[in-house]
Amino acid sequence: MTLFADILIWLLLAVGIGFCALGLFGLVIFPDIRSRMYTAVRAMLIGVTAVTASALIYAVSRFLGMNGGQYLTLALTAIFLYAIIVIATIVLSREIQDQIKSS
């Protein structure tokens, strides 16, 4: 792997961990459910996106460098799991918002 890819992977991992930590602190600190949901959904999606992007960069750089099929499988699995997380987060946040509005 190149030095640029390594730096980008570590930078994206740090950003992902930072945003996920902000989302966790938002869930603990904020008093009402709306502010908790806003913080958790936005920050966690940004964090998961950054971590997934770092996994994809790693998989692509290793695939191009070593021509290994397992890295292509890693990239496809990361994209599939990311899609599941995003869809589930959106559906659940809308369901919680509907429950808040009705009560």
Q: What is the Cα 3 distance to its own chain's centre?
A: 23
Distance CA 85, CA 24 (A): 17
Distance CA 49, CA 45 (A): 6
pTM for the whole thing?
A: 0.81
> Is the pLDDT confidence value at 103 over 70?
no
* Domain positions in the chain: 3-102
pLDDT in tens, 23-56: 888 888 888 877 787 788 888 889 999 999 999 9
Q: How many CB atoms lie within 10 A of CB 1?
A: 13
93 pLDDT tier (thresholds 50, 70, 90):
confident
Length of the chain: 103
> Could you tell me the two tokens for 10?
């570590």
What residue spans of the chain are helical by DSSP H?
3-29, 33-66, 69-102
